[in-house]
Structure 1
């Protein structure tokens, strides 16, 4: 079967049941379920046991993980397995024997890193290295300190890298391309979370009846839902546009799309929680979990600093 025979949307359909099944077990059993279905190695080399497909095939998988609020570093494992090529380390990720995460802040030179999702349970972590490259470290040789300030149940982590064991090195060009893929997949993850919240809110507003009419009959509610749909569609269109080169056949910059996705998804989640009332913070509909994840990712990129950087680059370019 060639790539032409495959469609990314088919991967979303297949991923739905797999991710739901992964939710029912612990962290390690989830790794095996996801790996056995081929999700961990969707972009990895065939020599490592992967499918060697483009990033467009990982997009719907990661979006589905966002929709189902999967607490597992799926997008990080996909990307690290891709970066490792035909290495035996990549094969371990594809098989589910190992799990990798990515420290979004810090570097090896500073001996300090942070914002690595699920680092307390993962095996390896990718950290920025010297000369624009990156290194894969064994988390067993790293001091991991959880920080539950933004999310006490799934805390962020800080890593002390002194004496850390280096498992592999990734060159600057590979890491630069990988960072762009990371930005695209994070945008897809938060966009999926927002889509799930919007769908749940629209359904709730149309079935919740007060004073003889559904809440969706109220003009203020309709305005909110329309605004939520508008920003959601804009975000989704931007993500899909990144898969194609611009009019000069140049690769598009993913940062503006990531900034918009983080902002838009936070807006949609906050509105969804508001429209659901107190139910947005209950076990019945835990929308706050998605909002926490978005806020943690935003903090990893500087809590608005990325937007300022995009703005400065735009001003300097004109």
Structure 2
């Protein structure tokens, strides 16, 4: 897709439809379930990167990417959320790439950008620590100068695809208290990567233990870059949640039209209609918030991404639960896909900050704007 100053709604719809068509075969129920306990099919990643060019959407063309904006990326991630895409897409394209772009280190972009865009290199960001909070203020991992580079000591928790990523961007703090981002190779000495068993098996998590791990610093003081990249990641997660919520609604609406009770489809009952109408309102509100945030920058994005995260989390958690309830007994079985979306919704609700974190951040933003 070629970027234009303002991509039209028709072009965005066509872009989303092309991704959905590809994911229908690449990330159907059978493929998602196969990836729960085994590595995702590498052929899927080859198509996502080689044909759809999703890892490099936000990378500039001179760094091997498509040079698109968060508007197009939000459309892509909504479709990825609808299909519950397993594998390194979120870690690479929603976490690592925005951070590399925000840091603006020309050398790092030239080195890592092309292989990331082509799918040759996957990457992730290690920020959260023992309390699981996605907050730069909570970072205690130490970075100390050593020779011509740096050595990292500490621990990281809930690192998305941390056990398999080919590049780890670790957020650590120097002795002077300055926040920095450090590139760590997966086979670096002193690095231990432990895969975690978590609620959402479609999104792999890992614990990193770093004991004097050699690293290369990317950029300078990273406080602003980490905050800016987190805003983009939060927006793309919200877009993904909207896609998952829409898929849950589609599933339950279809079932409500087929399931007969008292000689009538259950979708004809007022109680069912009301729940589904409530879900639709929540999803459309969240989608509107995502679209607004996708067109925001700077401080506006910091605010709007939080709003989008709040609304998308609320919509996804609500409709994923209703999807199970309204399917009745079959909805509670392992064989039905409803639980996969339910678990993704619950895990995603805390991944980059919970509702309480978003409300507190919004309060700070509004307090600053009023002053």
Structures share a fold, TM > 0.5? yes
Check the 8 A contact 2:3/2:67 in 1, yes or no: no
Matched, 1:266 2:317: yes
- Whether 1:148 and 2:197 are equivalent positions in the alignment is yes
- Alignment partner of 1:238: what SS? helix
Q: Distance in 1 between matches of 2:182 and 2:289?
A: 30
How far 1:120 moved relative to its partner? Answer: 2.3
1:166 and 1:18 map into 2 onto residues whose CA distance is 38
Q: Which residue pairs with 1:137 in the alignment?
A: 184
Rate the CA distance shift 1:149–1:251 in 2: closer, same or farther, 3 A.
Answer: closer
Q: Could you give the per-residue CA deviations for residues 112-151 of structure 1, whole angstroms, max 9, x where no partner exists?
A: 1122222223222333233344233223333222332424
Find the residue that maps to 1:129 and give its secondary structure. Answer: strand
- Listed one character per residue, the Cα deviations across residues 6-63 of structure 1 (whole Å, up to 9, x for unaligned) are 5333321221233344435834333222110211111112122211111111111111
- Please tell me whether the aligned partners of residues 128 and 134 of structure 1 are also in contact (alpha carbons under 8 angstroms): yes
Q: Does 1:102 align with 2:125?
A: yes
1:68-106 CA-partner distances (Å, limit 9, x unpaired): 111123133124235256422111111111111233513
Aligned to 1:163: 212
User: How does 1:104-119 map onto structure 2 within 5 Å?
Assistant: 104-106=127-129, 107=139, 108-109=141-142, 111-119=154-162
TM-score between both structures, scaled by the size of structure 1: 0.87
In structure 1, how many angstroms separate the alpha carbons of the residues matched to 2:302 and 2:358?
A: 16
Q: Do structure 1's residue 285 and structure 2's residue 336 form an aligned pair?
A: yes
Deviation larger for 144-153 or 7-16: 144-153
Counterpart contact for 1:123–1:140, Cα < 8 Å: no
Tell me by how many angstroms 1:230 deviates.
1.2
Query: Residue 61 in 1 paired to residue 76 in 2?
Result: yes
Work out which of the residue numbers 17, 32, 45 in structure 1 matches 2:46.
32
Unaligned runs of 5+ in 1: none
Instruction: Rate the CA distance shift 1:186–1:5 in 2: closer, same or farther, 3 A.
Output: closer
Checking the alignment, whether the CA contact within 8 Å between 1:77 and 1:100 is kept in structure 2 is yes
Structure 1 residues 149 and 41, CA gap change in structure 2 (3 angstroms): closer
Q: Quick check: 2:320–2:345 contact (8 Å CA) kept in 1? A: no
Q: Cα gap change, 1:274/1:175 in structure 2, threshold over 3 Å: closer, same or farther?
A: same
The match for 2:233 is: 182
Moved more, 174-183 or 51-60: 174-183
SS of alignment partner, residue 90 of structure 1: helix
Q: Secondary structure at the match of 1:189?
A: helix
Inter-CA distance 4–310: structure 2 relative to 1 (3 Å threshold): closer
- Give the count of matched residue pairs: 317
Q: Tell me, in whole angstroms, the C-alpha distance in 1 between the residues paired with 2:359 and 2:21.
A: 39
Structure 1 window deviating more from structure 2 (115-124 vs 133-142): it is: 133-142
2:294 match: secondary structure: coil
Equivalent-residue separation in structure 2 for 1:311 and 1:177 (angstroms): 15
RMSD (Å), alpha carbons: 2.8
**What is the TM-score of this pair, normalised by structure 2?**
0.76
